[in-house]
Amino acid sequence: MGPDVPLLNDYKQEFFLKRFPQTVLGGPRFKLGYCAPPYIYVNQIILFLTPWVLGGVGTLLYQLDIMKDYYTAALSGGLMFVTALILQMTNVYAKQKTVRVERMQIQNTLTDEDEFEFSSCVGSETVKFIIPGKKYIINTVFHSLLAGVLCGLGTWYLLPNRITLLYSNIGGTVMIFVFGWVTICIGEYSLIINTATETAAFQALDTYEITALMRPFYIFVFIAVDLAHRFAVNTAILEQTNQILHIIFLFLPFLWAMGILPPLDALFLWGMEQLLEFGLGGSPMSSNTKLLVMFLISAGTAIASYFIPSTLGVILFMTGFGFILSLNLSEIAFAFKHTMISHLASSKSKNMHRGLRIQFGWREFIFYLTVLTFALLEASLLHQFAGFSSFSKASPQAIASYILIILLIIMWILREIQRVYLFGVFRNPFYPKDVRTVTVFMEKQRRLMKVGVVRRILLTLVSPFAMIAFLSLDRSLQNLHSVSVCIGFTRIFRMVWQNTENALLDIVVVSIAQMLVFNPDLWWNRSLDTGIRLLLVGILRDRLLQFVSKLQFAIAILLTSWTEKKQRRKSTATLITLNVVFFPILLTFIAISALLSSPLLPLFTLPIFLIGFPRPIRSWPGPVGAAACVCSDTVYYQQMVPSLAVALQSALAAGSLGLSLPGSHYLCRFQDRLMWILVLEKGFTYCGVNIKGLELQETSCHAAEAHRVDEIFEMAFEHQEHTKILSPNHHFGHILTPCTVLPVRLYSDARNVLSGIIDSHENLKHLKDDFIKVLVWMLVQYCYKKSKTLESPGNADKNKKGSFLENQHSGAVERSRPLREEDSFSVDTIEDWTDDSDIFDLEPSGRMKDRKEAGQLATTPKVHLSIPGSVETQSQGVPQEMSPEDKLHRAVVLGLPAVDKGKQQEVLPRVEFSCCYSELLSIPEEWRTAPVPASKVNEMRQRFPEEWYHFILSQLDFFHLKEKPSNLLEDLMKDKALKDLYVHGVLSCCFGLFGLDNTVPAPSHVFRAYTGGIPWSVGLDWLTGKPELFQLALKAFR
């Protein structure tokens, strides 16, 4: 943002000054972007005060003892209903009057609203501007009726005598009467005249005109408490509540303007979600329809359990329905529908649905049925034979408590072991130190996955049965037809399966409290049964975790507003000081935000905190993916989502992503792609997530944010200096805590631009050294992969000799030829390229293997490659077929040197290794026959990157060897003969690509080598005679 950038520019300031007063007052437009006649403002003021005038008539008649209070309320309400209906009919008449002739409005693109031309005080344009009217006739009648009811009840609510009875203070009565009527006028204007633009917006479009009902609804809530107090005799709690709400009633306009009170749709969805999760033991749902259906079914289950006459029946009913409702019922219903269609429909319909992927089959059905059967048997048997004993340190329920405590500790340890940081503070010594070597990382990750499998078994099968044993032994279940027992135990019997980890924690907390407190006269033991205790502990746990996370967020905003240069402003020091001074008020805001489960909003990212309105966890009203923006970047995310979903499934099941609950957010990063993952719902063996692909880095601010994410991830997963045992997390307290690395197969869209690189003298200086390092890595990897086909050093020697003799024979007659134009990339090759293909693989597949190879027909090699960076390896030892065109060329070529077939190739002396396993990494002998002088060999020994060579060897695992010594890698590093082989191999490639001189290569040479047009030389002639080595060198260069 910067210290000198204004929070609102001139245009936004003007817009804010026009829009905010309109939001506060409920809709009147007293500031326009153009000049308007005075009667426009006068008319709006009159309409704004009309409810007060009509209510004042009734109030005056009551104060003069002419009418009773309820008659005055009815009179004021009737007058308001007639007035509202007249106003709406006036708008309908004005629209019909001007519907035949429409005036073309000349719109000014610099203004956010159209300019109106007003002809008179009550003209059609004036009426349509002040009273926009309703879109539906039914709303015209309904809103008018609601306005009358609101005015009547508001008059009853704000009668001065009534207020005086509550407070016995004339000054307070006057204040509440005046400002209370201002609140009612705001609600009436928003309902019947012009709906204000609300700060709290949940739906993008108000299709059914629900926004107009928001402010009257909250007024009715306050009036409802007052009516309850009127008709309830001698209720002290209601009286105190009514006194408090009368004062809060005056601040409703402020709460509406600040966006603290939610819209009606968000309020009801949030309420259903909270009741479903904390009152009925369910989980938030991924759609509004699923939420409503699940809420009704769950509430019906709790109500039905109240009427069951026997305790055994109650336990079986709660256990069975708790398990069934925790399953993914929508997936089961979809699978059942698919099965019925497959059996009943025609073959055409069968083919239509054949491509659908059904994740629920007979195997899952049998598994769920088995688990349900054992759960019912366990619950019934334990309750029947051991469920009547009171709780003591040696009772069966106490023994189940000890088992649950042990399970909680074990599962907690197994979960933390799989994360990169223990508790987010210290580096996990069991986590792989470096993720850059994929094979080594995957092998070490498999060990952690074994830990994850053990944890999943404990979480899915062992813990639920242990918790059912604890609950079945509880004596509270003996109390039939108890509302608290029905609500509490229906909730926890379902939560055992729906949210096993939190249920385990809650039961352990309650059991520990029960062990420590045996006093029966204590309120905890006397007034509450086990089900209600678990409900209270669950709510307290959730709100406490939210309070801690929001407090951490507030402290992070306070600190970064000063430490981050772009967030630091001139007012930052003052704001931080005010937050420190008024820290109790800040804590109150955070506590209210946590209690309401609503967001904590920093205004303009400054340390000025506001409370957002409560909303469902998924934070948007429509179905998942409805608001997705389809653009050119979409294809990258569409391709990777299936693989990412599979990887997420394994990670969530194993627990490597930590405690994943509905509402948990995860951020995934790959190259320039960012994915935002939100957990929507969770149940027994399933988890529903929403994956959002963020736009690729097109702006500077997005690039800066992505750079920060990359910095945190690289420090956690790649930097060797930060991977020491129990090394601290340098970003502890950051809102982004690294969890793990997910192996996902996907396409890369990395863009390589060589301008500014190959023409830089400094980069060209280091080109050869970088090339040597890459080539060493590729040579070692090539030999290592080749060694996997060998079982022992003796076998390696035998195979090596055989391959050497074969290569001697084929090397005398076989040479690579320049690729002709017909061999370039064509449409036919696309058929062999699939998602599982690797264009950089050394083993070609499909038709690439069937390409023919002929002998070398020219002395100057010319290489044409299809894709820069791709590799096409030519096979050796394969019988070759020669085309008639090649035979013709062979017959007419003149002037080529004759080949002495009787001449034997030079046989190199056998290399003596100090380690018998070095033969597995030995490079082929023909790769060491380059005609280079001994002085260059000694020079290469000096330049050879020995530390890098040792590092590459240290990353090899040799898992394919059945028996290997523990010091195998150390012996390989000490073997000088093996090192000399790689020195010769690297020198041979440098000789072929760069020659023997030590000059810095020119940019033109680098570019030609990158594109495949390498200038001819003696070294290149030798190198192209070794096709595999040439392709390795070319790939390393690129």
| Cα 721 to chain centroid, rounded | 29
Q: What is the largest CA-CA distance in the chain?
A: 135
Cβ within 8 Å of residue 458, ≥6 positions away = 407, 410, 411, 414
Other Cβ atoms within 10 Å of 915 Cβ, number: 21
Q: Which two tokens stand for residue 1?
A: 């943002």
CA atoms within 13 A on the CB side of 883: 7
pLDDT at 823: 36
Angle at 71 between CA 69 and CA 73, to 5 degrees: 70
H or E element at residue 689:
strand 686-694
CA dihedral 845, 851, 854, 857 (to 10 degrees): -100
| DSSP bridge pairs for 683 | 686
Cα torsion 4, 10, 12, 15 to 10°: value is 150
Q: Taking the chain, what is the end-to-end CA distance rounded to the nearest angstrom?
A: 41
Alpha carbons 79 and 49: distance in angstroms, whole number? 14
Give CA separation, 572 vs 569, 575, 600, in Å: 5, 5, 19
pTM for this predicted structure: 0.73
**CA separation, residue 781 to residues 136, 189, 841, 920 (Å):** 73, 77, 12, 11
- 146 closest CA partner among 219, 39, 246: 219
Residues facing 694 on adjacent strands: 674
Phi-psi domain of 286 (left: phi exceeds 0; alpha: psi -120 through 50; beta: other): alpha
How far CA 935 is from CA of 194, 242, 932, 996, in Å, comes to: 92, 99, 8, 11
Q: In the chain, which stretches have pLDDT less than 70?
A: 1-4, 33, 98-116, 345-359, 387-388, 434, 436-438, 518-521, 523, 697-702, 719-725, 749-759, 761-765, 789-910, 959-960, 962, 995-998, 1005, 1007-1013, 1015, 1038
Alpha-carbon gap, residue 397 to 670, rounded angstroms = 50
What is the Cα 707 distance to its own chain's centre? Answer: 18
User: Of 213, 189, 151, 211, which is closest to residue 43 (Cα–Cα)?
Assistant: 189
CA distance 155 to 75: 10
Strands 686-694 and 673-683: antiparallel
517 dihedral zone (left: phi>0; alpha: psi -120 to 50; beta): beta
d(CA 1013, CA 864) in angstroms, rounded, equals 7
Alpha-helical (H) ranges within 749-821 are: 761-765, 767-787, 793-813
CA quadruple 421, 422, 427, 428: dihedral sign: negative
Site of tokens 């034979």:
385
CB atoms within 10 A of CB 472: 26
- pLDDT at res. 824: 33
Query: What amino acid is encoded at 139 in this protein?
Result: N
Is there a contact between 754 and 1010 (Cβ–Cβ < 8 Å)? yes
Residues 6 or more apart whose Cβ sits within 8 Å of residue 110: none
> SS3 of 603, please?
helix
